[in-house]
Structure 1
């Protein structure tokens, strides 16, 4: 199970990195050789990386803002739902 989660996390990170790179290429007009290492640095800045990545997904990949938001905020929502579900199940198991 851990290997599946690791692979999914790696694939998600590569998509987010590609979106940041596409944003840099489209917005600033950088060549991919320059945009790739710069995207590696920018992608780890939470707010800046997310904004540029969402911009890249919308402008370069022609995604909607909702789809771009799902790419960057979707995993957070899934984890929040799982955590709330676990809390509810724990609450019900403590009552009996």
Structure 2
């Protein structure tokens, strides 16, 4: 299911996947924007429909990349659940980026 969620996230050109999707972990961010990604995470938490965690990594060039992590680990997670999570992410991103 993590690979399915990865495909959903990749279908929206505003997002980028960070790293390889393995062991049910999908890491993504709004392309080229730590600030928007942080704001997205805060809005998702305030929204309350899904709970996601964040992380950051410092690249060899010194740049820090902030991203959101989704862990798909429950045995009963199916496409409908992935689609719901993606819809929430898109809805909140749309609210965040209105007028930009």
TM-score bracket relative to the smaller structure: under 0.3
Counting helix residues as a fraction of each chain, which structure ranks higher? 1
Normalised by the size of structure 2, how large is the TM-score?
A: 0.27
TM-score relative to the length of structure 1 = 0.28
